[in-house]
């Protein structure tokens, strides 16, 4: 997706050979116009699969999830939570996720009622690297007896294995910007 | 705001005399149509103050922040983070916040560059009770030398002191739904 690729190349900051900082437009400060364009793009790609719920994970996925939901006719968004607050119900679907960025394991969970049996789920997230968070969301979709329409991510680090593994499993995975490599401070995108 | 009041009364679940569960439409599952309506309502109220950045806090504030930003002409959204990830920069503005829901203190922070000096900031969040998170966001706005246009929250627990204190300090605070009391399982709204 051209607008996102341009933003990554023009504004992204290489922190190390596997960490790219894009929080000036994607996951701390959000470029609202770009988020809307990403939502439209994702919606156009998946519309024929008739998703009726967007599933994402707090916090950075929420913005694109909302704009995708708007573009699909204001369908609901459910965001998986990373920790249980004291006022949450107990009938929850859980999956464990390892964060390489934060170097720790955490549980993600969704209240069962919010993913009704038979829902058609489209997963949306900001980043895909090792695919840990995505696998957690797919497990939760399965536990809920929902149909997975597919998954969309803004940025895929294609030099890590998550995207390849998910596609090999048959997941219809859309990446709006695929990063081929980050070497010596330079970002190289796939065509 | 009538749509939100109706949702609170029809779908909200009283957990205890000070905890109301609205995560079926506001802060776990998001009713996208309602989020858009809330964003339009907030934007209409604050438009004449010409905000050019929305400031919120992860994770539940992001959805309404985005829809407000869209209604104000696609201005950017910045969300304060509750913990620093390893790939974040170091020039950050911090404030301490006590969460009564989770019964712990935490730091919220925003990277300084994303709130440029002189920006006109509108704060948006889902809940206001004791006002702790809101005060943290106001402090960060001040540290950044920005102008506070005002603050909007979806639900104010008016039986707690946050809203009254903020208004006494001169904050232009818009609450879309004010809860007067929660007693014996019954939600009573202010007019």
Nearest to A114 among B28, B74, B76 (CB): B28
Q: Are B151 and B82 in contact (CB under 8 A)?
A: no
Write the pLDDT tens digit of every residue in B59-85. Answer: 999 999 999 999 999 999 999 998 755
Q: What value does the mean pLDDT take over residues A23-46?
A: 97
Q: How far apart are CA B82 and CA B97, in angstroms?
A: 9
Q: What is the least distance, in Å, from the CA of A14 to any CA of chain B?
A: 10
By C-alpha distance, the chain A residue nearest B34 is A74
Given this model, what pLDDT does residue B46 score? Answer: 98
Q: Are A78 and B31 in contact (CB under 8 A)?
A: no
pLDDT at A84 over 60: no
Q: Grade residue A90 by pLDDT with cuts at 50, 70 and 90.
A: low
Q: Grade residue B171 by pLDDT with cuts at 50, 70 and 90.
A: very high
Q: Are A64 and A57 in contact (CB under 8 A)?
A: no
pLDDT at A9 over 80: yes
Q: Grade residue B100 by pLDDT with cuts at 50, 70 and 90.
A: confident
Cα A174–Cα A175–Cα A179 angle in degrees, nearest 5: 155
| ipTM score assigned to the predicted complex | 0.95
pTM for the model stands at 0.96
Interface test with B, best of A58, A66, A125 (most B CBs within 10 A): A66
Q: How many interchain CB pairs under 8 A, A with B?
A: 116
Q: Are A112 and A92 in contact (CB under 8 A)?
A: yes
pLDDT at B101 over 90: no
Burial A27-61 (b: 16+ CB within 10 A, else e): bbbbbbbbbbbbbbbbbebbeeeebbbbbbbbbbb
Nearest to A101 among B78, B81, B87 (CB): B87
Q: Where are the domains of chain B?
A: 2-189
- Considering the four listed CATH numbers 3.40.50.2020, 2.60.120.10, 3.30.70.360, 3.30.70.1350, the one that applies to the domain covering B2-189 is 3.40.50.2020
Do the Cβ atoms of A74 and B36 come within 8 Å? yes
Q: CB count, 10 Å around CB of A110?
A: 25
Do the Cβ atoms of A28 and B102 come within 8 Å? no
Nearest to A66 among B30, B89, B113 (CB): B30
Task: Using an 8 Å CB-CB cutoff, list chain A residues near B101.
Answer: 85-87
């Amino acid at each position: 997706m051209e607008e996102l690729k341009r933003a990554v190349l023009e504004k992204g900051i290489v922190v190390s050979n596997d960490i790219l900082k894009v929080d000036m437009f994607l996951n701390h400060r959000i470029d609202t116009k770009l988020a809307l364009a990403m939502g439209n793009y994702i919606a156009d790609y998946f519309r024929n699969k008739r998703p009726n719920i967007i599933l994402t994970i707090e916090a950075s996925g929420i913005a694109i999830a909302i704009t995708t939901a708007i573009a699909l006719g204001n369908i609901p968004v459910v965001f998986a939570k990373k920790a249980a607050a004291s006022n949450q119900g107990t009938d929850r679907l859980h999956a464990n996720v390892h964060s390489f960025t934060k170097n720790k394991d955490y549980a993600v969970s969704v209240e069962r009622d919010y993913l009704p049996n038979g829902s058609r789920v489209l997963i949306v997230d900001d980043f895909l690297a090792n695919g840990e968070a995505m696998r957690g969301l797919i497990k939760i979709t399965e536990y809920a007896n929902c149909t997975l329409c597919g998954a969309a991510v803004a940025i895929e680090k294609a030099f890590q294995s998550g995207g390849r593994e998910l596609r090999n499993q048959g997941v219809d995975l859309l990446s709006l910007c695929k990063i081929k490599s980050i070497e010596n401070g330079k970002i190289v995108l796939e065509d």
